[in-house]
């Protein structure tokens, strides 16, 4: 039977390598929506970074952002749900990360994604980084602060960045020293960036909120993804579909593997029904 809810990751999945939603994918999603199927996006991006994606679609779906820590409705520019790390927990995490990263002598830094209220919140007020977060090319839009100031306000995500390591290497170093009761550790890109959120909060958390919103059971949901931060969502849904370009752990978590994001892999699956 056709799914009643479609949820797709964005980068490496819904978008091609040029950051575009292809006409083929847009058209099949719209056929699904017109048939009464619900549609949402689930991403590691903050909701402020959705505009270039949503501008390519004729609909404004409710989106799971910040790896499940924020559920956002672009039609009203409102945060529907949020789950935050508290300052004392982030201080504990920073201490654990420092214990394994500092002895390596490699540059690393921290970032904090605060929830805010709107997609138009000033970037330098809600995305803060320490000076060593990305010493090669940190974005001048971000607020640059000492780590003590970075973690003195609750955050949707705490980020750790080391440009000289890949994310899998950082995960192997850091995940063992961060208590699972303190934070969920994952990553959505290979370039030396880890993302930490509240325990038990991941894309499946947000996807379950969308399903409840629309009165849909997990078995009636199809999800698409390509990276470790998609694994829980792929496993939670009735059909989890990994892209051909997906990380090995995402391929293992999925029920089905489709073509790559540059070969309209999401569209190829949805065209089976729509």
Tens digits of per-residue pLDDT, 254-269?
999 999 999 999 999 9
- What is the layout of strands, in order, in the sheet containing 109-113? 143-144, 127-129, 109-113, 157-161, 193-197, 184-186
Q: What is the pLDDT of residue 271?
A: 98
Q: Are residues 247 and 113 in the same domain?
A: no
Residue 268 · residue 222 · CB < 8 Å:
no
Per-residue pLDDT of the chain (274 residues; tens, 9 = 90+): 999 999 999 999 999 999 999 999 999 999 999 999 999 999 999 999 999 999 999 999 999 999 999 999 999 999 999 999 999 999 999 999 999 999 999 999 999 999 999 999 999 899 999 998 976 555 567 889 999 999 999 999 999 999 999 999 999 999 999 999 999 999 999 999 999 999 999 999 999 999 999 999 999 999 999 999 999 999 999 999 999 999 999 999 999 999 999 999 999 999 999 9
Q: What is the pLDDT of residue 91?
A: 98
Number of structural domains, the chain? 2
pTM for this model (two decimals): 0.94
Tokens of 23: 């006409």
Q: What is the pLDDT of residue 141?
A: 77
Q: Are residues 94 and 158 in the same domain?
A: yes
Residue whose pair of structure tokens reads 């849904």 in the numeric block:
237
Q: What is the pLDDT of residue 140?
A: 64
- CATH number for the domain harbouring residue 211: 3.40.50.1000
Q: Are residues 91 and 178 in the same domain?
A: yes
Q: Are residues 140 and 209 in the same domain?
A: no
Q: Are residues 45 and 103 in the same domain?
A: no
CA-wise closest residue to 39 among 16, 57, 21, 17: 57
Q: What is the pLDDT of residue 135?
A: 63
Strands (E), 22-137: 38-42, 63-65, 70-73, 78-82, 109-113, 127-129
Last residue of a domain, one of 197, 225, 247: 197
User: Which residue range(s) make up the domain with 120?
Assistant: 87-197
Q: Are residues 116 and 75 in the same domain?
A: no
Q: Are residues 92 and 189 in the same domain?
A: yes
Q: Are residues 78 and 208 in the same domain?
A: yes
């Amino acid at each position: 039977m056709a799914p009643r809810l479609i949820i797709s990751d964005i980068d490496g999945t819904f978008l091609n390598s040029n950051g575009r939603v292809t006409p083929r994918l847009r058209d099949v999603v719209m056929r699904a929506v017109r048939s009464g199927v619900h549609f949402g996006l689930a991403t590691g991006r903050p909701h402020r970074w959705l505009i270039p994606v949503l501008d390519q679609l004729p609909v404004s779906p409710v989106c799971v952002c910040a790896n499940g820590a924020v559920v956002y409705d672009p039609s009203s520019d409102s945060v529907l749900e949020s789950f935050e790390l508290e300052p004392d927990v982030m201080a504990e995490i920073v201490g654990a990360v420092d214990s394994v990263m500092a002895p390596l002598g490699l540059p690393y830094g921290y970032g904090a994604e605060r929830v805010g209220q709107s997609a138009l919140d000033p970037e330098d007020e809600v995305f803060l980084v320490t000076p060593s977060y990305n010493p090669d090319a940190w974005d001048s839009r971000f607020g640059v602060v000492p780590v003590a100031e970075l973690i003195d306000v609750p955050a949707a995500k705490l980020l750790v960045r080391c440009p000289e390591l890949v994310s899998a290497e950082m995960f192997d170093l850091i995940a063992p020293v961060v208590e699972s009761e303190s934070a969920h550790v994952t990553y959505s890109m290979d370039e030396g960036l880890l993302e930490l959120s509240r325990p038990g909060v991941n894309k499946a958390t947000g996807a379950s909120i969308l399903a409840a919103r629309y009165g849909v059971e997990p078995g009636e949901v199809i999800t698409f993804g390509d990276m470790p931060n998609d694994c829980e969502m792929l496993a939670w849904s009735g059909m989890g579909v990994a892209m051909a370009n997906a990380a090995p752990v995402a391929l293992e978590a999925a029920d089905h593997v489709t073509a790559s994001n540059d070969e309209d892999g999401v569209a190829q699956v949805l065209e089976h029904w729509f």
